[in-house]
A and B are shown apart, each in its own frame.
Chain A
Amino acid sequence: MHENFQEKFKDLYTKDSDGIYVLDKDDLHSAIKCLKDEDEFHFLVDVTAVDYSKYLYPKASRFCVVYLLRNKDFKEIITIKSFLDDQTLEIQSITDLFQSSNWAEREVWDQYGIKFLDHPNLKRVLNHQGFEGHPLRKDYPIIKGQICNETDDLMDEMIPRLAKKGYTKHDDLMFLNLGPAHPASHGTIRTFVALEGETIVSAVTEIGYLHRGFEKSCENHTYNQIIPYTDRLNYCSAILNNIAFAHTVEGMLGLTLPDRAQFIRVIVGELSRIIDHLVCLAANLVDMGALTNYWYLYNPRETVYTLFSKLTGARLTNSYMRIGGVAHDLYDGFEEDLNHCIKDIEKGMSDALSLVEKNRIFHDRTQNIGVVSAAEAINKGFSGPNLRASGVAYDMRKTAPYNFYESFDFDIAVGSVGDVYDRLMVRFEEIRQSISIIKQAMNKLPSGDIIVNDRAVSLPAKNDVYNSIEGVMNHFKIITDGVKVPTKEYYRAIEGANGELGFYIVSDGTGTPYKVKVRPPCFAPMSALPEMLEGGMIADSVISLGSLNIIAGELDR
């Protein structure tokens, strides 16, 4: 509950039809401070902005900034927004309250051009530094690319960081780029470090090398057309992204899915979570030189790919969800294939664990490396396995169950220290728990529809399309206009493989979203990386990064 906030600010806020608190921009900082200090809203979910210039209904001003916060048991979420003065476009930064807002605010500046006052380092984060304009503004043409000739040297961030640590002269330091094209960068992430010997004195990370304009593309496609784009966010577990997006849109439509569809989502979703963890573990162990584990852990993934190809038609980018259900039913022989997958996964895991579980080298390399305490992790916006490794039992499947997760018997794996070891071991345990969920779901799998039987949402049967004019029209309207979603601003999330994977969608009642903002789970941990690395050895930086399971697709979008 947020009584203190309601009591203190009762004359200052209004609550709009979507349940969002609207405050004046000058009161916003104190309101968020009150929520954090007095009502224990410790977790900043996301910060974003909306440009209403082309919105169908008039708003107080062109831009507003949106903040989403969760309370300490993560069950309650509050959305606050503030309209800005169109002339100045300024608002007070909340970086003094939440460390995770640092990059989030930089992104809003980058994409919308909103200035956050007293922000420590308000520079672009996704687009290159030479970029002109702000691409998510409605007047920025989607295809207007801007050529970049030079990479940022990052010294503007490095020098103040070094000065804070007492380095004014840099003659003895060695500067080194890890990435963006580096075998240990897990995608296209750049970490720029200053070294004294092999010790990292200071680090700066730069992202945006895989910024693919997901959010702008969403504004130009219908809801079902966006599903293939979501595949490519976290491409290691594409189906979970599909589910997260469809789940949000279904929330806006107020749909309840048929039981069978929900169970299928649980089964394929958990399978995706498993293969996501497998990639993370396999790659992270290779980072430590344990190459054999890569084959042990990666090969079961191939078995799952084969199952996914049969089920969805694609190995990696499945696009298996539709608004209102799933694309097709399970095929004959699915259960047999699934059991085969599970056996392979269990074997791969036990083989890998037999090599590392009691391995002194593995323990020495991972324990007490890259430690993030529970309080820090929450303040920095960690979620999912990374947060649980620090000992916080936050799992959306438990705190806000969806798709009957409350009816499955499973445990939340938590760590105690929050080091690389915990982050890896939590993932191993989560694979076991996911296998258990899949088995329970297969036992209880009900029969019935796999998509809602609502002619405004799902496509009619092919028989109707080919044999009746109503069927053809129905099909045509859904394909060309898209599923019409009521006017709303809405946030909903699921437990993705990496943590809280949510979508904030603004709809203007048409078949195309007005705005889509994804809350990528690895964005916040990435911004916390420099502090994890500083003081450590360069070899540890590689495994620290790997243990966070940063996936560039969802990081940069």
Chain B
Amino acid sequence: MAVGAEAIFGDSVITTKLDSAIGWARESSMWPYIFGTACCAIEFMSVASSKFDISRFGAEVVRFSPRQADLMIVAGTISYKQAPVLKRIYDQMTEPKWVISMGACACSGGFYDNYTTVQGIDSIIPVDVYVAGCPPRPEALLNALAEIQKQQLKEESILKDRVNTEFKGELDA
């Protein structure tokens, strides 16, 4: 039996926690920034196109301005030369923000265990979800997106800052 506002207004209102409502809204309207550098970016093109269609998950509004994006998808190898650019763009994104590390190179350097490749972007910026594969299939990236959505629903409180202040990357002074 309904109590409070619901008793008065019937089905026309829903009472819930503000955090759940915001989590629910966020979940279906991620705006990704594609930090696409290599082969994985081509697979992202597949994710965005008709067959796999990322818009089914509400994340098709790809923003190329970090200021407007809340999900960074690092798709491809990050070299030492690229690392400061990656960090700069990550820093420019406003909170709350999430990061998907797509593919073996971004996660660990992949089979480029050499002088030029960063051995995992988590030495530069914090990462929320890792996707295995070289490159991962489009379904794997969609799964990672679903993981992020799950995390968003579980967010404790919007009052709690998501910023991980303890994170110290190689490029943090």
Contacts and interface: CB of A to CB of B under 8 A. Distances in A.
Interface of A: 127-128, 135, 140-151, 180-183, 187-188, 208-213, 216-217, 228-229, 231-232, 235-236, 279, 294-295, 298-299, 301-302, 305, 315-317, 552-553
A190 to B, nearest CB: 9
Contacts of A553: 38-39
Q: From B81, B85, B111, B134, name the one whose CB has the most chain A CB atoms within 10 angstroms.
A: B81
A208 B77 contact: no
A229 B105 CA distance: 13
Contacts of A188: 37-38, 76, 82
Interface residues of B, number: 40
B83 A147 contact: yes
Nearest to B65: A183
Given A143-B114, A236-B42, A299-B49, A317 B82 contact: no
Enumerate the 7 nearest inter-chain pairs by beta-carbon distance, A residue then B residue, closest first. Answer: A213-B114, A235-B39, A183-B64, A128-B81, A213-B116, A148-B80, A188-B37
A130 to B, nearest CB: 9
A209 B85 contact: yes
Given A211-B79, A217-B112, A150 B84 contact: yes
A210 B86 CA distance: 13
Interface string B117-136: 11100000000000000110
B160 interface: no
Contact of B80 (A147, A216, A231, A295): A147
8 contacts: A143-B113, A148-B83, A188-B37, A188-B76, A212-B38, A299-B51, A317-B39, A317-B134
Contacts of A552: 37-38
Contacts of A183: 64
A148 B135 contact: no
A257 B82 CA distance: 42
A450 B35 CA distance: 40
Contacts of A148: 80-81, 83-84
A470 B112 CA distance: 34
Nearest to B86: A181
Contacts of B51: 299, 302
Contacts of B35: 181
A468 B117 CA distance: 43
A213 B38 contact: no
B80 A128 contact: yes
Contacts of A182: 64
B146 interface: no
A217 B116 CA distance: 11
A182 B46 CA distance: 19
B148 interface: no
A181 B112 contact: no
B50 interface: yes
Interface string B9-40: 00000000000000000000000000111110
A360 B44 CA distance: 32
A135 B134 contact: no
Contacts of B84: 148-151
Given A180-B85, A209-B85, A317-B39, A302 B114 contact: no
Q: From A127, A140, A145, A146, name the one whose CB has the most chain B CB atoms within 10 angstroms.
A: A145
A151 B89 CA distance: 13
B66 to A, nearest CB: 9
B41 interface: yes
A216 B115 CA distance: 9
B120 to A, nearest CB: 12
A146 B115 contact: yes
Contacts of B112: 212-213, 217
Interface in B134-156: 134-135, 137
Contacts of B46: 298, 301-302, 305, 315
Contacts of B82: 180, 188, 209-210
Nearest to A233: B39
B45 interface: yes
A70 to B, nearest CB: 30
Contacts of A127: 81, 116
Nearest to A140: B115
Contacts of A315: 43, 46, 137
Contacts of A298: 45-46, 49-50
